[in-house]
Chain A
Amino acid sequence: MNDWLTQAENWAFILIALPMVLGAWRSVTSRNVVHSVLFLVITLAASAALFLLLGAEFVAWSVVLVYIGAVIVLFLFGIMITRAPLGMETELSHSNQTKLGAALVSGALFALITVAVITGFGETEIVSNPTRTSEIGQSMFERFVIPFEVVSVVLLAALIGGIVLARRDPAEPGDSSSSLGGAQSAHVTAEGGEA
């Protein structure tokens, strides 16, 4: 353990991990919706920093761009549009009984993974090896080109699906047909007038 603490990288890890876990904790417990989203920003920024620590630069900046840049804004929009209560709100979470059950389940999950990882990997060392973006690009467009195409189709489907779902229906059918009928009858009258 002492050995572990002498490495500067591990101090950096602690500095990143602490705000990360705290941010995640506050994000799922906060009684203010907007705060909850802002805590998520902290967590995601920390995860980006963690990726930098592991040498995955491109992933780190993708997280910053996509998540912190776009997804968070989407969440804030979602909150605004659904008129979620913006101030302090006690009814944001379930009752204490449900919370207890959920806490037990997620605690058990955490314990399970921790035990499995410690028994499985022990003190396996890993060394950060920076991956250049060009390598990522080469790999993505050679080895993983088909998954890449599939993801692009998924994104397209999500785009169309999002539009279809969120779009307001056009005017009531009754309205449109009556207005159309009106226009037609006017047209007929005009023709009749000419004749």
Chain B
Amino acid sequence: MLQLLTNANTLILATEEGGHAAEALSDGGLLASMAWLIPVVPMVAAFAIVFYGKRMPYKGWDIAIAVMGFEALYGTALLLAHIASPIAHDFQVEIARIGSMPIEWGWTVDGLSIMMYFLVGVVGFFVFLYAKGYMEGDIRFTWFFASFTLFAGGMLVLVSAPNMIQLIVGWELVGVSSWLLIGHYWEDHYASSSAIKAMLVNKAADVGLFVGAIIVSMSVGSFRFSDILHAVEGGAAEAPLLAQFAFWGGLALFIGAMGKSAQFPFHVWLPDAMAGPTPVSALMHAATMVTAGVYLVGRMFPLYLTDGFATEVRAVIIIIGGLTLFLTGLIALVQDDIKKVLAYSTLSQLGYMTAAMGAGAYTAGLFHLFTHAFFKALLFLGAGSVIHSVHSNNMSDMGGLRKTMPWTYRTFLVGSLALAGIPLFAGFFSKDEILASLNYAIGKFSTADGGSSVATIVLILAISGAFITAFYMARTVMLTFHGEYKGQAHPHESPKIMWVPLVGLAVPSAVIGFMNWPGLTSTFTDVVGGRAVRVLDHHATEFDYLMLSFGLTAAVAGGLIGMRIWGPDKETQAARDTFRIPLLYPLLENKYYIDDLYMDGVIRPIRGPVARAINWTNGYVIDFVVNGAGLLARSVGKVVYWFDQRGVDGAIHASGAVTGAGGGMLRLLQTGKVQQYAILIFAATVILVAGLVIWF
């Protein structure tokens, strides 16, 4: 059925260091052996903020920012050390045991996790800096920073995990702290129900993660990633059990990843997660939480790319990615809430990453994750700055803000250009690499069973996605910063503590793409390729000019058309009206009715009957059990009494008397007195156990 991929193993190696020669990897010395501090410090700090935060001069923010500063410095130091000489460090200590499988705690320091440490640390630092200004005056200021630190810490636990168990712990920590943060304004019904929605959708997908972790770990006999991936490296003949179950294990793990990374059927929680404070959205959509799924696929990448294992799952991954990137991008076109536009754009970009992973492009997918984190955090913080100033989320209340908020405007523009994929900004390089790798993958899928046509469709979707991205970003910038101001409040530039982080993020958004300039630099490829296991990968060593021209044309055309339709000088209401295509527009505005489908199709039909079933159980089953116990005692008594009457044995007299008393008590059954119920329960138990003892 899913035999779309036949010759996946012809892909080239990522790097020399990360490939065969494990001896070229250093163990990282003190820097790597002290890396346990990375997850532990924020976890401790989260509790410290809860208990001591209120007594600190800045109400706990000072602890939080110190922690994130530490993370940023440590992440940068690790990244630089890793670029100088690749590190692969892995340490685990047993804390408990399930059967023969030890449950271990430890930390891993390799290219993939170092990239994430750096990302969470640096982006987190700027977001925390900004959050002080944004959350100023909030009634739960200290609590916010405690749960925010827990959120970052949970992500670091997840990233530092060297085994499945710790990954699941981090995964759930991120889940529970995101619930706390989305529901931060829980007095608002929308916020609290959004938090619950995020939790439930994630939980539904987490079942996949648990099942996948169990299948994969049990068939290898170890929870360690290193053992699992080395088993994969050994080939299907060496690990027959894993090869047998790899498809289902890989698929289940990907379903888990779909939940956290908000892929197509599970994407519904992410736009509603906007109900949380804007810094939360920024961190959640950039470095934390939604990257977890892509990270998981990256961590398990050899499983999906080695022949004989879960290679078929990649067909699912690429299709889901293609659908997500296109469908959610379209929704972003019609949103009025600026944060919702950005949320749907995040979904669309996550679709790109997933599609790249599905195409077997490890570097391209992670590179887009990396660059996207910077400019998406920047865009969210910019949007937050605007919202802070105009006191509304709706773009219909904004407009003309470029004069009153110059710094926000400049940085937001940088973020938009990066997201749209305009050359030399970070998003250009990563999106181009994804398009190139999708194009490359078409040739790698077999033509016989339609695999290559699926890949071609995904490529077309991705190029259209580039057009849509540029289009809605042009719309957002135009409606927010150009034209006439339409709101009621008096906009003003945000305080310095808020726009300085914007500048701090705008710089990497502009330049970080140079890390992987095809044909010129391959720093990022070397970073994420520097792992203890061989990662099969293909990455562009030079520009794929065909794809480059397609992508660039789409982006520029999207941007120009968007600017023309939504532009200020031509208040072309007619053009906007033609944009409101009948049927399609309401479909998009209602988000393809997927939320309604879930509500009416899944939740309502379950909720009503469950409530009725519980009521019915209370009314009938429990009474029935109590009555039944009495009746059972009496009928057993009758039988025994019958024996007794026949004079089988005088010794049975005693039990006859017991049951006689039981039968007599049946009249008193419905007294409501606990102890009489207890007598009956004990009597029934004794009789049943006696029956069991005699039976055997």
Contacts and interface: CB of A to CB of B under 8 A. Distances in A.
Interface residues of B, number: 19
A17 B95 CA distance: 41
B95 A101 contact: no
B682 interface: yes
B693 A116 contact: yes
A109 B690 CA distance: 9
Nearest to A149: B96
B26 interface: no
A105 B675 contact: no
Nearest to A143: B97
Given A115-B693, A145-B96, A146-B96, A104 B675 contact: no
Contacts of A108: 654-655, 658, 683, 686, 690
Given A94-B675, A102-B679, A105-B679, A112 B96 contact: no
Contacts of A105: 658, 679, 682-683, 686
A100 interface: yes
Contacts of A112: 686, 689-690, 693
B657 interface: yes
Nearest to B660: A104
B661 interface: yes
A146 B655 CA distance: 44
B254 to A, nearest CB: 30
A102 to B, nearest CB: 6
Describe A's contact surface by its main secondary structure: helix
The residue among A101, A102, A108, A143 with the most chain B CB atoms within 10 A of its own CB is A101
A109 B689 CA distance: 9
Given A112-B693, A145-B95, A146-B96, A101 B679 contact: yes
Nearest to B657: A104
Given A109-B682, A109-B686, A112-B693, A104 B96 contact: no
A104 B663 CA distance: 13
B661 A104 contact: yes
Interface string B207-223: 00000000000000000
A112 B686 CA distance: 8
Contacts of A98: 675-676, 679
Contacts, number: 37
B665 interface: yes
A100 B661 CA distance: 9
A146 B682 CA distance: 32
The residue among B655, B657, B661 with the most chain A CB atoms within 10 A of its own CB is B661
Nearest to A109: B686
Interface in A89-128: 94, 98, 100-102, 104-106, 108-109, 112, 115-116
Nearest to B681: A105
Interface in A124-171: 143, 145-146
B352 to A, nearest CB: 42
Interface residues of A, number: 16
Interface in A58-105: 94, 98, 100-102, 104-105
Contacts of B95: 145
Contacts of A145: 95-96
Contact of A101 (B655, B665, B689): B665
Interface in B646-692: 654-655, 657-658, 661-662, 665, 675-676, 679, 682-683, 686, 689-690
The residue among A106, A108, A143 with the most chain B CB atoms within 10 A of its own CB is A108
Contacts of A109: 682, 686
Contacts of B683: 105, 108
Interface in B94-118: 95-97
A20 to B, nearest CB: 22
A193 B661 CA distance: 82
A101 B637 CA distance: 14
Contacts of B686: 105, 108-109, 112
Nearest to A106: B682
A104 B654 CA distance: 9
Contact of B658 (A94, A104, A115): A104
Nearest to B684: A105
A149 to B, nearest CB: 9
A102 B96 CA distance: 45
Nearest to B94: A142
B212 to A, nearest CB: 23
A106 B658 CA distance: 11
Nearest to B97: A143
A16 B297 CA distance: 64
A171 to B, nearest CB: 24
Contacts of B97: 143
A116 B658 CA distance: 19
The residue among A94, A105, A115, A143 with the most chain B CB atoms within 10 A of its own CB is A105
Nearest to A108: B686
Interface in B611-665: 654-655, 657-658, 661-662, 665
Nearest to B689: A112
B674 to A, nearest CB: 12
Contacts of B96: 145-146
Contacts of A106: 682
A146 B97 CA distance: 9
Contacts of A104: 657-658, 661
A102 B657 CA distance: 12
A40 B676 CA distance: 24
A116 B675 CA distance: 27
Nearest to A119: B693
A98 B665 CA distance: 9
B466 to A, nearest CB: 50
A98 B689 CA distance: 23
Interface string A44-62: 0000000000000000000
Contacts of B655: 108
A112 to B, nearest CB: 5
Contacts of B676: 98
Contacts of B661: 100-101, 104
Nearest to A120: B693
Contacts of A115: 693
A100 B690 CA distance: 20
A65 B689 CA distance: 35
B636 to A, nearest CB: 12
B692 to A, nearest CB: 9
B682 to A, nearest CB: 5
Contacts of B665: 101
Contacts of B658: 104-105, 108
B398 to A, nearest CB: 40
A100 B657 CA distance: 11
Given A105-B679, A108-B683, 11 more contacts: A94-B675, A100-B661, A101-B661, A102-B679, A105-B686, A108-B655, A108-B658, A108-B686, A109-B682, A112-B690, A145-B95
16 contacts: A94-B675, A98-B676, A98-B679, A100-B661, A105-B683, A106-B682, A108-B655, A108-B658, A108-B683, A109-B686, A112-B689, A112-B693, A116-B693, A143-B97, A145-B95, A145-B96
The 7 closest A-B pairs by CB, nearest first: A104-B658, A105-B682, A108-B686, A105-B683, A101-B661, A109-B686, A116-B693
